[in-house]
Structure 1
Amino acid sequence: MEAEREGAELTAPPPPAASAAAVSVVFDDDDLLREILLRLGFATTLVRVALVSRRWLRHASHPAFLRRFRRLHPPALLGFYLRELGAWAPRFVPVSRAPELATAIRRAGAAEGHFFISDCRNGRLLVTDFDPTACRHAVLSPLRPARGKAALPPAPKWSLIWFFLPEKAAGCDDDGAVAVLMLPLGTKAKLQVDLLTSGSATWVVRRTAVIDLPEPLPPIAYTLPPVEGKVYSLTKCGHILRLDMAAAESCLLQLPDRVSTDNFTLSCGEEGSVLFLIHAEGYLLSIWQLPMTSSDADDWAVVYDKVPVREACSRREDVMVLAVDYNLEFVFLWLRSSAVLMHMHLESRSEKVYDELKVRDGRFLDINPFMMVWPPVFPALRDDDNLDG
């Protein structure tokens, strides 16, 4: 009995005062606190715990800490907006099931209106309203519903014009936008980038240049958002046209030798220093990258080489590339024969098939992956806010 009593004493929990003291020692250590915050997993949780005290908020919102947090926990993909040919509005399809993201997913699914999504970046949508009398553009922030819809003023009328949400370095805030305008002039092109800041009624010319073209401007299939003063357009002739505003230069980039079909899409990724090409052949998926400073086709490097799509293998059918998110984590695919939409997480190779969506034809799908906002929006404290620390 004496031995049992001694063993019980050894394994008994410490008194409450001792436990509180131990916890206080841990949380009063700034280095330990940062390591604990670093393991939260989601930016939404980080924002909530930052309300504990001013000290916690100071650590959680520090730029150096946020850089570490982002490397470990990239912005989560909440889902994607899907619009089929003839549909008046897109529908939101959740991807994440994490309970920490439930509120964000609910808000993303509540975006309403008859519109076409022109660009989707960092928790915002640049939309074009379906209006028989006018083509109106606006910015929606589904994760911050109090912002409502910010209508954009008309842009200058040029031959070609594309609207985008701004990159981080553009000096533009949440409701801003970028317009890329092009006027073909034979073997030259006049190019202009206009910037719109929140609440402004006027576009401001940010860059303008007359650029020599390697040949008369070929028909353009689509254009990527401008990155570091460079504009990339995929032509219908199967080349990539790069327009460098700063250097007033252009070039036609050749595709990798193995890319012999138009079953691919392009992306500049989140960092914007590399051009990515995501290509499918049969049931195999490959991704190449090309430095933005290069114009040599030999500089294409393979990132993922001939990754098998298991669902396509099991069904013995080909896949078509539809879209990719900005972090280059998820690629959305269409199974041609069975008419099924799916996505693959590239790092883990995990796949999800959306049989329940009943999508009719992948050739006319418009998919916009929708991600969490980064950096996270922390509360702005007032002097009378009662936070200790």
Structure 2
Amino acid sequence: MTFVPARPRPKIHSSVHAYQEEILTKEGEGGLSYLYMLVPYTREREDEVQVYMLKDGVWCTHGNLPVDGKLYLSRRPDEGPVLVDNKIYIAVDRSEITVLDLTSLSFSEIQLPQGVDRGGIGERSTSLARADAAGVYLIHVKELQIRLWLHKEGDWLLVDTICLREMLASLSMLGSNASLRIKSVGDNAEVVFLEMGRCALHLDVKCRTLRKVYEVTEEGGYLGDIYPVMMIWPPAFPAPKDGPARGAM
């Protein structure tokens, strides 16, 4: 188990109104690596993005980069930044993705595939996901269809298209006037959580199955964010202190 220490305090500048922060992880030969990124919210372009790496239990400065005036870290899980190898992919506007290269400490932009638009505020029609093939997935939902794109070696490749019409019909949800919105996506885009009306839906991309996993009650009000967690199954829990041994009947 890794204990993450207190995060570094940002270097306060007069032009900065607030900071956004993100802790990202990636798997390597030595286990998980941790990265901490601070993005200043400023009307000027004189400040810097601060990047730290966790080494031997201490946050160490990895580098500072001049801030991009339009760089923004979304707080929604479906729009958060994605760390792949030594690059951070950040969806910043309707037509492009900003890429922060941690090796060269530089920014670049990737245009979205032709015909793909991230939509307006509240539409939640796209999401990014980490790909094992040293790339990033873009998931795009339009009406009752989901398309999966893989960005690798500088190009977008359409790898899958899924029509949800029959699946929604089997759940008696086809007649709903509510639109589909992405709530969250798992690594390698194997799992997609969707929102439709007051319901949360779980799409298994490989098995082509769609299940209703939650429905908001009258008392619930609204459907909150969804954070997928991968774990070993079945889980092994430690025996309670001063309790019976694990597995005892």
Give me the TM-score of the superposition, normalised by structure 1.
Answer: 0.47
Equivalent AA in structure 1 for residue 28 of structure 2:
A
Structure 2 spans left out of the alignment, 5+ residues = 12-17, 120-124, 237-249
Q: 2:231 aligns with which of 347, 362, 372?
A: 372
The answer (yes or no) to whether the contact 1:278–1:288 under 8 Å persists in 2 is yes
User: Is 1:267 aligned to residue 126 of structure 2?
Assistant: no
Q: Equivalent residue for 1:316?
A: 175
Task: Decide which structure has greater helix share.
Answer: 1
Provide the aligned length of Structure 1 versus Structure 2.
Answer: 212
Tell me if the contact between 2:49 and 2:64 (Cα under 8 Å) persists in the aligned partners.
yes
Residue 15 of structure 2 corresponds to which residue in structure 1?
none
AA aligned opposite 2:166: R
SS in 1 for 2:228: strand
Asked if residue 257 in structure 1 is aligned to residue 106 in structure 2, the reply is no
Secondary structure at the aligned position of 2:10 is classed as coil
- Work out whether residues 284 and 307 of structure 1, in 8 Å CA contact, stay in contact via their aligned partners in 2: yes
| Shift of residue 266, structure 1, vs aligned partner | 0.8
Distance 2:104 2:50 in 1: 13
What SS class does the counterpart of residue 312 from structure 1 fall into? Answer: helix
Moved over 4 A (4+): 170-173, 183-189
Does the CA contact (< 8 Å) of 1:209 and 1:245 recur in 2?
A: no
The CA deviation string for residues 333-382 of structure 1, in whole angstroms up to 9 with x for no partner, is 1113xx111111111211211255646434xx2111111259x99xxxxx
Q: Which residue of 2 aligns with 1:101?
A: none
Is 1:290 aligned to 2:143, yes or no?
no
Greater strand share, structure number: 2
> Identity, % of aligned pairs?
20
**Given that residues 218 and 235 in structure 1 are in contact (C-alpha distance below 8 angstroms), is that contact kept between their aligned partners in structure 2?**
yes
Letter aligned with residue 266 of structure 1: L
Task: Report what 1:210 is aligned to.
Answer: 65
Conserved 8 A contact 1:211-1:248? no
Give me the CA root mean square deviation.
3.4
User: What is the SS of the residue equivalent to 2:91?
Assistant: strand
Matched, 1:169 2:28: yes
Which one has the largest radius of gyration? Answer: 1
Note if 1:180 corresponds to 2:37.
yes
| Unmatched tracts of structure 1, length 5 or more | 1-146, 378-389
Equivalent position amino acid for 1:153 in 2: A
Aligned pair in 2 of structure 1 residues 151, 348: CA closer, same or farther (>3 Å)?
A: closer
Q: Offset at 1:251?
A: 2.0
Instruction: Tell me how far apart the structure 2 counterparts of residues 212 and 356 of structure 1 sit (CA, whole Å).
Output: 41
CA distance in 1, matches of 2:60, 2:36: 10
CA contact (8 A) 1:220 1:236 kept: no
Q: CA separation in 2, counterparts of 1:309 and 1:330?
A: 18
The answer to which structure, 1 or 2, has the higher relative contact order (CA under 8 A, 6+ apart) is 1
1:1-389 residue pairs with structure 2 within 5 A? Answer: 150=3, 152-158=5-11, 160-169=19-28, 177-183=34-40, 186=44, 190-197=48-55, 200=57, 202-205=58-61, 207-210=62-65, 213=68, 216-221=69-74, 222-262=79-119, 263-269=125-131, 271=132, 273-291=134-152, 293-294=153-154, 299-313=155-169, 314=172, 315-317=174-176, 318-336=179-197, 339-355=198-214, 358=217, 360-362=221-223, 365-373=224-232
Once the two structures are TM-superposed, the CA of residue 228 in structure 1 deviates from its matched residue by: 2.0
Distance 1:217 1:272, change over 3 A: farther
Aligned-partner SS, 2:227: strand
CA distance in 1, matches of 2:91, 2:47: 16
